Chains A and B, each alone.
Chain A
Amino acid sequence: MASNEQTPVLEVEGLRTSFFTPDGEVKAVDGVDFSVSNNETLGIVGESGSGKSITSLSVMQLIQHPGKIVGGSIRLSGDDLLKKTKQQMAKYRGNRLSMIFQEPMTSLNPVFTVGHQVSEAVRIHKKLGKKAAWQEAIRMLTLVGIPAPEDRAKRYPHELSGGMRQRVMIAIALSCDPELLIADEPTTALDVTIQAQILELIKELQEKSGMAVLMITHDLGVIAETADKVVVMYAGEVVEQADVKTLFTRPLHPYTQGLMNAIPRHDIDLDELEMIPGTVPSPQNMPDGCRFAERCPYATDFCIENHPELASPSNNVEDENTSGQTRCWIYTDEWNGSNPTKGVAANQ
């Protein structure tokens, strides 16, 4: 590790991003807080429509019309990014904070060579000349494990496999030594064997540079493998956050428990996988109370009417000395329903 000291690199507070459609405001991200330090990987997990991708695009300020960040603050090493002008943000993107995307097949521009696309970032941010930037691009391609980088640099994206293209994306993202790397489902589109390689590569490069990583995924396996801390998102909100060990040994929120139960397990013989019934509520029609209540096995009328806050649990947990927080009435003193921990135990 480059350094063991941990200072927050990215601090997001009360982030709210909405899309202004003809049918009204759609709150895709509704008050999200998290922070990630150097040498640290924060996993953001949630199903489709939970707002995790919009959160990451908001951090990059790549939200396109009709979407808009309507509140909160995003600080990068203390700098408030939401106060920056468009030009200043363009200077930071690819330089101080970078992003890799889900679809390596379509994320590279088909009409430029791979080398050109890697060197472009270097030319913009490090102000290198064409030749020096090309050399730098080849160095980056070598670093991300692309064989014969001099030759590959002259190739077009369609001549490379998905795994290779994702390596190229990583090379582009890391070419200017960013403080923060946002990886939005970086392995979802790849073969399982390649997935492990790419995750390993990100980890390796993180250890070298000490950057902070924001790992966005719906795959708890990826979280278990890479993350130090985890934020679970549901319907635009954080419903649980904890360090990765705590989350996997004792998931608090019924939604997190549901996600855990939906993972296939090799040690238990099950005919059918558990699933969470129903779907994420539509953002146009968000319930007033707990957003998960409709799908929650423990929900009471109280849950349906009252919206819980993200807080440290104070009820229904054996060990109260936990860093984790959850957004669920069960763990508050207001709870008067049945004790869910038994139900959870039965599920495990």
Chain B
Amino acid sequence: MNDPLVVQYGRFLGDLLLFNLGESVRTGQPVIDIIAPRFFITVELALWGMVVAVTAGLFFGILSATYRNTLRDYGTMAIAVVGLSMPNFWLGLLLIYWFSIQLGWLPTSGWGTPAQVIMPAITMGTAGAAVIARMTRSSMLEVIDQDYVRTARAKGVKENLVIYKHAFRNAMIPVVTVIGLQFGYFLSGAVLTENVFAINGLGRLVVDAIGQRDFPVVQGTVIVLAVTFVFVNFLVDIAYRILNKRIELN
């Protein structure tokens, strides 16, 4: 503690390489041991959220693009705006109210069983689904008027395949970027969802740690989330290369 700041920082970075994030001020446990189990819960939650966001987003995006400027399109996009604008903790509370309290179908909190996954996943995924749907729609609309889509029709490809093979593969390129970014937001967005549903993930941990002024834990969580974010974006870049043949890796 008496060393100059630079030396302390150097020591901190060295420890970081060895996955040593220090000890909790409260419990004295190594931070890495506190974070690790919760990290996987948060990643799992974010992945389920992604599943909801990607399936609903792509489905509604393609739907409104293929029925552009019809009632179906306007309806879907209106719902997307609502989904995007609604704070997710509020959506979570509404879901708990309807499905747990009124209908009694799903448990209000906890993590582990499939029934406990449904509401948090929807809560996490809705805003992402809205963003992905809007992105998919505009990207599909741009692609659908391209000459090569007309070429596909001209060679007798069935309309369904024209949309899902020729147009979609191209439209996916910008959408993948958005999906990657969404995953990053999900990791941080988990803070609210985990608190609403009392899930013992990183989000709850960091909120508790802030409340207890447990700085090593806060710091460790932030680092782990940041590294995950970077890693996910790296995966997106690889996916990008697979989708877009025009990118050369030199």
Distance (Å) between the CB of B32 and the closest chain A CB?
42
Restricting to A106-122, which residues have a CB under 8 Å from any CB of B? 106-112, 120-121
Q: For chain A residues 93-129, which have a beta carbon within 8 Å of chain B?
A: 93-95, 98-99, 101, 103, 106-112, 120-121, 124-125
What chain B residues lie within 8 Å of A108 (beta carbons)?
A: 148, 151
The one of A93, A111, A172 that contacts B153, using a Cβ cutoff of 8 Å: A93
Given the interface contacts A90-B159, A111-B245, does A62 sit within 8 Å of B154 by beta carbon?
yes
- Residues in chain A near residue B152, CB distance under 8 A: 109
Q: Which of B151, B158, B159, B245 contacts A107 (CB 8 A)?
A: B151
Q: Is A94's CB under 8 angstroms from B156's CB?
A: yes
Interface residues of A in 55-99 (CB under 8 A from B): 60, 62, 86-87, 90-95, 98-99
Which of the four size classes fits the interface of chain B?
Answer: 20 to 34
Contact A107 B148 (CB under 8 A): yes
Contacts of A92 in B (CB 8 A): 156
Which size bracket describes the interface of A in this complex? 20 to 34
Main secondary structure of the interface of B (DSSP, over half): helix
B157 with A120: CB separation less than 8 A: yes
Query: Considering the complex, which residues of chain B in the window 144-198 have a beta carbon less than 8 Å from any beta carbon of chain A?
Result: 146-159, 166, 169-170
**Is residue B225 contacting chain A, with contact meaning CB distance below 8 A?**
no
Say whether A302 faces chain B, with CB atoms less than 8 Å apart.
Answer: no
Whether A99 pairs with B157 at a CB distance below 8 angstroms is no
- What chain B residues lie within 8 Å of A93 (beta carbons)? 153-156
**Is A307 in contact with chain B by the CB < 8 A criterion?**
no
Task: Tell me the complex Cα distance, A124–B155, Å.
Answer: 9
- How near does chain A come to B148, taking the closest CB pair, in angstroms? 4
Q: In the complex where A90-B158, A90-B159 touch, is A62 in contact with B153 (Cβ < 8 A)?
A: yes
B243 touches A (CB below 8 Å): yes
Indicate which residue in B150, B154, B245 contacts A98 across the interface (CB closer than 8 Å).
B154
Chain B CB within 8 A of A144 CB: no
A158 contacts partner chain B, Cβ-Cβ < 8 Å:
yes
Q: A156-B245, A158-B245, A158-B246 in contact; A109/B156 too (CB < 8 A)?
A: no
A94-B154 in contact given A106-B148, A109-B166, A110-B170 (Cβ < 8 Å): yes
The verdict on A164 contacting chain B, using a C-beta distance below 8 Å, is no
Q: How far is the CB of B4 from chain A (nearest CB, A)?
A: 55
Residues of the B chain whose Cβ atoms lie less than 8 Å from the Cβ of A62: 150, 153-154
Among A107, A111, A124, point to the contact of B157 (Cβ < 8 A).
A124
Interface residue A231 (Cβ < 8 Å from any Cβ of B): no
B156 touches A124 (CB 8 A): yes
Q: Does A222 contact B (CB under 8 A)?
A: no
Cβ of B55 < 8 Å from any Cβ of A? Answer: no
- Shortest distance between the CB of B173 and any CB in chain A (Å): 8
A186 to chain B, nearest CB (A): 13
| Given A106-B148, A111-B170, A111-B245: A60 and B156 interface contact (C-beta under 8 Å) | no
A169: Cβ under 8 A from any B Cβ: yes
Shortest B93–chain A CB gap in Å is 43
A3 to chain B, nearest CB (A): 26
A302 to B156, CA, bound (A): 48
A103 contacts which chain B residues (CB < 8 A)? 147
Nearest residue (CB) in A for B173 is A111
Closest partner residue, chain B, to A108 (CB atom) = B148
Point out the residue from B149, B151, B159, B170 that lies within 8 Å of A172, measured CB to CB: B151
B159: contacting residue among A86, A109, A120, A156, CB under 8 A = A86
Query: A110–B169 Cα gap in the complex (Å)?
Result: 10
Q: A101-B150, A110-B148, A111-B244 are in contact. Are A121 and B170 (CB under 8 A)?
A: no
A111 and B156 contact, Cβ closer than 8 Å, known pairs A106-B146, A106-B148? no
Nearest-CB residue, chain A, relative to B166: A109
CA distance A112 to B167 in the complex (A): 11
| Contact residues in A for B245 (Cβ distance below 8 Å) | 110-111, 156, 158
The interface bits of chain A over 161-178 (1 if a CB of B lies within 8 angstroms of the residue's CB, else 0) are 000000001001100000
User: Nearest CB to that of B244 among chain A residues?
Assistant: A111
Q: Across the interface, do A156 and B246 meet the contact criterion of CB distance under 8 Å?
A: yes
Interface centre among B146, B154, B245, B246 (most CB of A within 10 A): B154
Check if A101 sits within 8 Å of B156, measured CB to CB: no
B147 A90 Cβ-Cβ under 8 A: no
| In the complex, per-residue mask of B28-71: 1 if CB is within 8 Å of any chain A CB, else 0 | 00000000000000000000000000000000000000000000
In the complex, chain B residues whose CB is within 8 Å of the CB of A125 = 156
- What's the Cα separation between A120 and B166 when bound, in Å? 11
Q: Is B169 in contact with A111, judged by CB distance below 8 angstroms? A: yes
Minimum CB distance partner of B170 in chain A: A111
Which of A103, A110, A156 counts the most chain B CB atoms within 10 A? Answer: A110
Min CB–CB distance B142 → chain A (angstroms): 13
Contacting pair A110 B246 (CB below 8 A): yes
Query: How far, in whole Å, are A108 and B152 apart by their CA atoms in the complex?
Result: 9
Known contacts A106-B147, A111-B244, A158-B245; A90/B170 CB under 8 A? no
Query: 5 closest A-B pairs (Cβ-Cβ)?
Result: A94-B155, A94-B156, A93-B156, A106-B147, A109-B148
Given A60-B154, A107-B147, A173-B154, 7 more A-B residue pairs with CB atoms under 8 Å apart are A86-B159, A90-B153, A90-B156, A93-B156, A94-B156, A111-B169, A111-B244
Q: Identify 29 residue pairs between A and B in the complex whose beta-carbon atoms are under 8 Å apart, listed by A's number.
A: A60-B154, A62-B154, A90-B157, A91-B156, A92-B156, A93-B155, A94-B154, A94-B157, A98-B155, A99-B154, A101-B147, A101-B151, A106-B147, A109-B152, A109-B166, A109-B169, A110-B148, A110-B245, A110-B246, A111-B245, A120-B157, A121-B155, A124-B155, A156-B246, A158-B246, A169-B151, A172-B151, A172-B155, A173-B154
